[in-house]
Amino acid sequence: MQRLPVLGVLLWVCGLFYVGLHLFVGGFLLVRLEVNRTSACQDALQPDLGARLGGPLAPPDFCRPKPRFRRAVLVVIDALKFDFARFDPANAAPRPHENKLPVFGQMVSSRPAHSRLFPFRADPPTTTMQRIKGFTTGSLPTFIDVGNNFASSAILEDNIIHQLGQIGKRMVFMGDDTWESLFPKKFHRSLPFPSFNVKDLHTVDNGILQNLYSTLVGEDWDVLVAHFLGVDHCGHRFGPDHPAMADKLTQMDGVIRSVIERLQDDTLLVVLGDHGMTDSGDHGGESLKETDAALFLYSPSPLFPGPPSEGEPAVVPQTDLVPSLSLLLGSPIPYSSLGQVLLPLFPPHGDASAGLSQREALWVNAKQVNRFLETYSVLARDIPAQRLSELRQHFSRLSAAYLAAEGSGVPSPGLEASLQAYLTSVRETCRATWARFNPLKMAAGLAVLALACLLCLVLSELSGTLVSAGGVLRLPLVAALVAGVFAVAGQLFARGHVEVAWCLAPAAVASELAFLWRARRYRARVSAAVVGNGSGSKVPRATGWTGWLVWLGPRWLLVPPLLVAFLRCASLLSDSYVIAEGRAVTFLVLSLGLYVPVRLNWDGLLLPAAHDPQKPAGLPPSLLPPSAVRKEGATLLAWLGVLVGSLYLSPSFHGCREEQGSCRPSAFLQPLARLQDSQLRNLHYVVSLASLGLWTHLLRRWLRNYGNLNSSGGAVFTARRLLPLLVVCLGLHWAVSATPEDGFRDLTELIGFARLVLPRAAFALLGLGVLLVWLDPVTVFAKTRETAPARGPSSMPPLPPRYRASTGISPQAELHHLIPQIYQRMRRSLEDGGESDGASEADGRPAVEAYGLGTVYSAPLVLFCGLLGVGLLLLHPEGMALAFLLLLLEMGALLHIHASTTTLSGLQGAHSGGFEVPWTPVVLWALASTQFFHATGHLPTFPSLQWSAAFVGFPGGHQGTVLPAAMVALNTFSSHILFAAGCPLLLFWPLVCEVRGSRGGREGTDEGGEDAVMEMRLRESPQRFSSALLQLSTRYLLLLGAQVFASVCAAAILRRHLMVWKVFAPKLMFEASGFLLSSVFLLLAVALVLRVDVAVGRWFRRLLPDADRNGEQGPTAERVGGARWMEDDGWRTTQSGQNVKEQSVMKAWRQVTSTDILGDCNFNPLISGGSSGTIIT
Amino acid sequence: MWDREIKAMASAHAIVASGVFSATVLPSMLVRGFSVYGTHLLWLYSVAGAVAVVNVAVFWLLGISQPTKRHTLSHKLSRLVRSCLYLLLSCLFYHTVVVLYGAPLIESALETFSLAVLLTSLTTLRCLCVLGPNVQAWIRVFSRHGAMTVWDTSLQITVACTVVGAWLGAFPIPLDWDRPWQVWPVSCSLGSLIGFLTGLVAAPMWIHYHRKQLTYKCK
């Protein structure tokens, strides 16, 4: 078979998806590194010069001088758009949101030195959480701020709340409970109110109002933060043009008036909106309507030098609030702040009583920003180096100028402006790096992904032709290379530097287009072949692109499994469905599962065809008796029952999103150590252990049933020894980790040691097992049949014809002794050739039995999945063992349903006989992986990541970040991984289960006829094997890729949606990471299959050493004489004298599908060769 | 012959559909505070009852049902008993399926069971009327070559439409629109009823347009 081309094509397809995702995510998700340093009072932000002069201007400690304001009231009105705050007396017929806040206008006109109203421009993303983070840290938070603890939402970056706390201000907070999660334990007093329910306009506001005024007149506070949510919720619910908005704004007007009345002279009032809203009341994006909020500053004592003048800023960026407030209240500016002080707030010339002068404030500000820039550029490299050096030069010039000006005492007029310019340019640089969507990149990513999906579809349809044509990848790769080189050259020519993303994008698109263009020819070949067969009348022979559309069009979209897949993709565009994803996917899986028997019944395949005398005689009669059909149908329904059962039980393992109000997370998600009731704990432990045991038992039972536990290879060793050992390790680990902290004081050290060692031992065993499976995947055990007694004495003492456990000797010992003999004997019988065929042919029975040959491909894969499952279970809470057992059962059910469907269609002559895996099982498989993502307690949100997985085996924490991240990723996507690794089983299972059908039908008939050859059919036609494998993999990739594409579309289309940062963007991240891991493990599984294929070829060659001489005749498979199948790589049968022996060997392969001869005493039926054996002749 | 049968079917379907409408309209005149959303279960039972009565009456009058070989009273009685048993079993079956699809097991069992009753009256009762209490025949009808009369084909279409309608009816439930028809089981029962009505309209039309292709084997 063609191994490398298949793997190459899959790698190429995965690569295209990765490029598309990389492009989109690069344009959509902006990543910034958090700098976890804090400013302190001792920071020498002032120039040393001051100290030398010894004046009051140069305090050695930053916080000591008396600040201008002792207290501050920060009133945050969520979504207070600037338009709401403006008052236009000329407007005679104001809309509901206009002219409802006259207090600002009145104050500004009546007390110009005390108050100002500015437009306050937020940075995208304009969502409340990001905005609170923005105007408290003074930085530009992006969707992902890579910080030290990803798990909690608490702000670890330096921020004004922290700084104010450091200088001993008592802070009181009331309002939106987001603050409480962002700043846990920072407040002197805190009154959080639930913010989640968008429909609720009044709870938060009324809660604040009940406490606000009494607190204001009291003396136990220095800084008061009140966050009103009503306006925002009103916008979301009704939009700005609604009477409710007018009421809400009028209420806010009253609130501000009352607050102003109660202010004392040393108090500063800041009223601000965190963001604006669109005309429909939403926010999140970057339009001016969303970013422009209002900022109102007021103090009973004069705040500004005079009435508004020309030089004042027209718009205040949101970051500028933090440095201004810090300096006014006498605290250091937070470390990562990028804002510049609001100059009008500072006196133009130094004056000891009025605090810092404008120039001093700017200088302090510039030094702080420069320090941050230096630190950040060391930590992260995303700011262009060229830009960075320009900024550095700018700062050193400024620094020299400032020191000169201070030293000489001569004011230099341009210094303030130049400091401001420096601050602005730093801010703009950072903004360009962190806070801007890149629509071009997003579009390019979308295009690459869409084309990749289309390409997967074409590949899966044309896989047969492609495999036989060969050289499929040449043109696309050349095109990619050419386009990439052109892109590099163009960028170098036009811009002077190269951005990798913009080289990958044209390369990917070019290679996709080249393939699609090339595929037209393949399609022509397919349709020609179909027409040639005479059955292609339905296929339209249109050519060109319209032909493509016809070919891919309605024929496709109307198939129910694809309809279900489409529904699944469409559901990713709705936030409600993403929130309810776990149940929605379960619903779809159940629907498609129930569709299978209904469809079979519709085609008349589920039940044996009724005896119908009027049936036209031309129809082929049913290939099998009704009893076999009935039995197969019953099997199908039984497995359907298993599927339905596991579907019904799986939601009980779901976790809960915060959006799901009345949901309670599954009790199994709690680690055992946290259960208080010791009886319950024991019960949970026993249940988990039992499911783990059952998992292992089922695996081993399956392997033994198909005779895969008999040989002495690496894979068998893994299954027989390592797997149980692994399970024991896991069970002990659970027991140890479930012990309460202070349960066994004497054994603390031992327990600590066990916590460290047991999981690590399990990891080591797992690694060893996977390695062994990879190195020696063949689980076939070959042995000669007991031949005619006439030959026995001549060669060696005859073996006992039947082995009975009742001989008195230990059966195990005797078997161990027996096996080498059998093997020797088999070798000998092969070596002396001719005579043995005479015997075996006379006998009519085969001469060699190969245990487990029928499942030679699936056994290592099943073992691999089983090992992987146990390993992934290790990273989960103990209770999830039950969920993993359900996963295994559901996998089995899906495989058996697929196998039974194939058998039923095959039995009644409705199946083409190819290895093609239809859409229904593949769609079910892909949906089940999402279903169990939820049913193993995961959710597509960041707070729900199971961080404890990173500490399994590393109770003391980690040094680096790669290993814990990998462990958490493995934990999160374990279901994706397992289903992807098991995906090729869909191809093998109908062949594995084929035996049953044939055996049922052929009892009593001659054994030499058509026999079950199980997976050897694949070796019989390697071409079709390759194409089926390629088709299955591309279909699976297509389904996964379509889901990724849908969530990418959701993120792109709904980037203004209220829920974009809460639902869609995390969903996109999870979907993309799931795709990444799925595709990697799918590739691994395919590689394992190909590895097995190589190993099987080698195994055949080893059994027939002298056959190598004929090997040079070419590796093609051929049917000659009586041999039903042969090897493609190594030897083939010819009519020469030599091959008589080979033919006999070939005739003699016997597939035995029974019992573990080493472990069990079930030796009898094997040697007697009863019904459990099937012959390949 | 075709025309006659199709006309008979169309009129029968029209009667059934009018039964559904009157079951919605009449109680609103008679019962105070009756509404489809508010007193949903009442509406549901009235529709289910109306459909059942009209169906049985129409099929009995038209004489579609399988002619029985024996006309003894005991035979008729046993058929009646078996029919009732099947109806009950069908209610339980639908209830189970709906629960498996994710309906709450205990909390709103009455609502779920009412939906099952509605589905039974829309599908199983029709099967009973057309095919008699014979599960083998029911399974046989739902295969490609299983229909033996025009009525079998119409049965296929209406049942499929009803079930698909109920299935589609579950789709709006997770949405956060807070509409009265998103409450369990309103959307599903509305969906199944709309599907049923669609099936009633679609069946005669489909048969009419495909009358050339339709060939029925005799029993």
Q: Which residues of A touch B175 (CB under 8 A)?
A: 574, 576-577
Indicate the residue of B100, B167, B175 with minimum beta-carbon distance to A644: B100
- Is residue A925 within 8 Å of A894, Cβ to Cβ? yes
CA angle A530, A534, A537 (to 5 degrees): 75
Spatial distance between the Cα atoms of A709 and A1166, rounded to a whole number of angstroms = 14
Q: Which residues of B touch A583 (CB under 8 A)?
A: 102, 174
Q: Is A912 helix (H, G, I), strand (E, B) or coil?
A: coil
Q: What is the mean pLDDT of residues A222-234?
A: 91
Chain A residues 560-579 with CB within 8 Å of chain B: 574-577, 579
Give yes or no for A614 touching B (CB within 8 A): yes
Q: How confident is the model at residue A1159 (pLDDT cuts 50, 70, 90)?
A: very low
Spatial distance between the Cα atoms of A406 and A1044, rounded to a whole number of angstroms = 60
CB pairs under 8 A between A and B: 44
Give yes or no for A408 touching B (CB within 8 A): no
Quick: pLDDT tens for A503-537.
999 999 999 999 988 887 777 766 565 544 443 33
ipTM of the complex, rounded to two decimals: 0.95
Q: How confident is the model at residue A909 (pLDDT cuts 50, 70, 90)?
A: low
The alpha-helical segments, DSSP class H, found in A654-677 are none
For position A241, what pLDDT does the model report? 86
| Of the candidates A398, A376, A392, the residue with the CA atom closest to the CA atom of residue A140 | A376
- Residue A421 tokens read as 């310019």
Spatial distance between the Cα atoms of A98 and A634, rounded to a whole number of angstroms = 71
Indicate the residue of B99, B167, B218 with minimum beta-carbon distance to A591: B167
Quick: pLDDT tens for A81-134.
999 998 888 888 888 888 889 999 999 889 888 899 999 998 877 878 888 888
Sign of the alpha-carbon dihedral angle for A124, A130, A135, A139: negative
DSSP string, A223-290: EEEEEE-HHHHHHHHH-SSSHHHHHHHHHHHHHHHHHHHT--TTEEEEEE-S----TTS--SS-SHHH
Element (H, E) at A33: strand A31-33
Give yes or no for A586 touching B (CB within 8 A): yes
- Is residue A989 within 8 Å of A876, Cβ to Cβ? no
- What is the residue whose two structure tokens read 């718009």? A315
- Is residue A423 within 8 Å of A431, Cβ to Cβ? no
Give yes or no for B3 touching A (CB within 8 A): no
Lowest mean pLDDT of A51-60, A203-212, A718-727, name the range: A51-60
Q: Is A74 helix (H, G, I), strand (E, B) or coil?
A: strand
Judge: B100–A601 Cβ closer than 8 Å, yes or no.
no
Distance (Å) from the alpha carbon of A685 to chain B's nearest alpha carbon:
27
Spatial distance between the Cα atoms of A589 and A569, rounded to a whole number of angstroms = 14
Q: Is A145 helix (H, G, I), strand (E, B) or coil?
A: strand
Indicate the residue of A591, A604, A651 with minimum beta-carbon distance to B143: A604
- Is residue B195 within 8 Å of B170, Cβ to Cβ? no
Residue in chain B nearest A197 by alpha carbon: B176
Looking at chain A, the whole-number percentage of residues with pLDDT higher than 70 is 76
Spatial distance between the Cα atoms of A867 and A873, rounded to a whole number of angstroms = 10
Spatial distance between the Cα atoms of A63 and A71, rounded to a whole number of angstroms = 15
- Is residue A815 within 8 Å of A1158, Cβ to Cβ? yes
Judge: A587–B170 Cβ closer than 8 Å, yes or no.
yes
Q: Which residues of B touch A584 (CB under 8 A)?
A: 174
Interface probe for A, chosen from B145, B153, B182 (most Cβ of A below 10 Å), is: B145
**B210 DSSP 8-state letter:** T
Judge: A601–B102 Cβ closer than 8 Å, yes or no.
no
Quick: pLDDT tens for A794-813.
333 333 333 332 333 344 44
- Residue B36 tokens read as 């489809």
Chain B residues 106-165 with CB within 8 Å of chain A: 139-140, 142-146
Cβ-proximal residues to A936 (8 Å cutoff; 6+ apart), any chain? A653, A876, A880, A883, A884, A887, A974, A975
Interface probe for B, chosen from A196, A587, A589, A662 (most Cβ of B below 10 Å), is: A587
Give yes or no for A910 touching B (CB within 8 A): no
Lowest mean pLDDT of A194-198, A486-490, A1127-1131, B207-211, name the range: A1127-1131
Distance (Å) from the alpha carbon of A1120 to chain B's nearest alpha carbon:
42
- Is residue A662 within 8 Å of A582, Cβ to Cβ? no
DSSP 3-state percent helix, strand, coil across chain B (nearest 5): 70, 0, 30
Chain A residues 235-274 with CB within 8 Å of chain B: none
- Looking at residue A593, its amino acid is G
| Angle between helix A1065-1103 and A919-935 (nearest 10) | 120
- Residue A788 tokens read as 């005619």
Cβ-proximal residues to B116 (8 Å cutoff; 6+ apart), any chain? B90, B91, B92, B93, B94, B95, B98
- Is residue A869 within 8 Å of A887, Cβ to Cβ? yes
| Of the candidates B107, B209, B118, B102, the residue with the CA atom closest to the CA atom of residue B165 | B118
Indicate the residue of B100, B146, B218 with minimum beta-carbon distance to A590: B100
Distance (Å) from the alpha carbon of A920 to chain B's nearest alpha carbon:
18
For position A863, what pLDDT does the model report? 92
Interface probe for A, chosen from B97, B176, B218 (most Cβ of A below 10 Å), is: B176
Residue in chain B nearest A587 by alpha carbon: B101
Q: How confident is the model at residue B97 (pLDDT cuts 50, 70, 90)?
A: very high
Give yes or no for A602 touching B (CB within 8 A): yes
Cβ-proximal residues to A424 (8 Å cutoff; 6+ apart), any chain? A340
- Looking at residue A211, its amino acid is N
For position A12, what pLDDT does the model report? 94
Between strands A115-121 and A292-298, the pairing is: antiparallel
**In whole angstroms, how far apart are CA A4 and each of A117, A372, A1118?**
69, 51, 22
Distance (Å) from the alpha carbon of B167 to chain A's nearest alpha carbon:
9
Between strands A1149-1152 and A781-784, the pairing is: unpaired
| Angle between helix A1022-1053 and A439-469 (nearest 10) | 170
Q: Greater confidence, B64 or A248?
A: A248
Residue in chain A nearest B216 by alpha carbon: A614
- Is residue A280 within 8 Å of A273, Cβ to Cβ? no
Indicate the residue of A601, A614, A647 with minimum beta-carbon distance to B217: A614
Whether residue A146 has pLDDT greater than 60: no
Chain B residues 45-84 with CB within 8 Å of chain A: none
Lowest mean pLDDT of A268-277, A571-580, A1052-1061, A1094-1103, name the range: A1052-1061
Q: Rounding to the nearest 10 degrees, give the CA dihedral for residues A145, A148, A154, A158.
A: -80
- Is residue A45 within 8 Å of A367, Cβ to Cβ? yes
Q: Which residues of A touch B184 (CB under 8 A)?
A: none
Give yes or no for A196 touching B (CB within 8 A): no
Residue in chain B nearest A599 by alpha carbon: B143
Lowest mean pLDDT of A422-431, A603-612, A1022-1031, name the range: A603-612
Give yes or no for A662 touching B (CB within 8 A): no
Spatial distance between the Cα atoms of A886 and A649, rounded to a whole number of angstroms = 8
Judge: B102–A651 Cβ closer than 8 Å, yes or no.
yes
Interface probe for A, chosen from B96, B101, B135, B155 (most Cβ of A below 10 Å), is: B101
Indicate the residue of A575, A577, A590 with minimum beta-carbon distance to B101: A590
Quick: pLDDT tens for A601-625.
988 888 776 554 444 444 444 456 6
Q: How confident is the model at residue A663 (pLDDT cuts 50, 70, 90)?
A: confident
- Residue B56 tokens read as 């049985």
Q: How confident is the model at residue A438 (pLDDT cuts 50, 70, 90)?
A: confident
Spatial distance between the Cα atoms of A287 and B59, rounded to a whole number of angstroms = 64
- Is residue A653 within 8 Å of A688, Cβ to Cβ? no
Q: Is B33 helix (H, G, I), strand (E, B) or coil?
A: coil
Give yes or no for B102 touching A (CB within 8 A): yes
- Is residue A895 within 8 Å of A985, Cβ to Cβ? yes
Indicate the residue of B143, B170, B174 with minimum beta-carbon distance to A576: B174
CA angle A270, A275, A276 (to 5 degrees): 115
Indicate the residue of B142, B178, B217 with minimum beta-carbon distance to A602: B142
Give yes or no for B101 touching A (CB within 8 A): yes
B142 CB burial (10 A radius; 0-12, 13-18, 19+) = middle
| Of the candidates A659, A1128, A652, the residue with the CA atom closest to the CA atom of residue A883 | A652
- What is the residue whose two structure tokens read 């009256």? B121
Cβ-proximal residues to A623 (8 Å cutoff; 6+ apart), any chain? A906, A907, A908, A909, A1001
- Is residue A381 within 8 Å of A350, Cβ to Cβ? no
- Residue A490 tokens read as 């163009």
Cβ-proximal residues to B211 (8 Å cutoff; 6+ apart), any chain? B2, B6
Q: What is the mean pLDDT of residues A941-963?
A: 80
Cβ-proximal residues to A260 (8 Å cutoff; 6+ apart), any chain? A103, A107, A269, A298
Q: Is A503 helix (H, G, I), strand (E, B) or coil?
A: helix
- What is the residue whose two structure tokens read 């009412």? B114
Quick: pLDDT tens for A460-488.
888 877 877 777 788 899 999 999 999 99
Cβ-proximal residues to A391 (8 Å cutoff; 6+ apart), any chain? A373, A422, A425, A426, A429
For position A1029, what pLDDT does the model report? 92
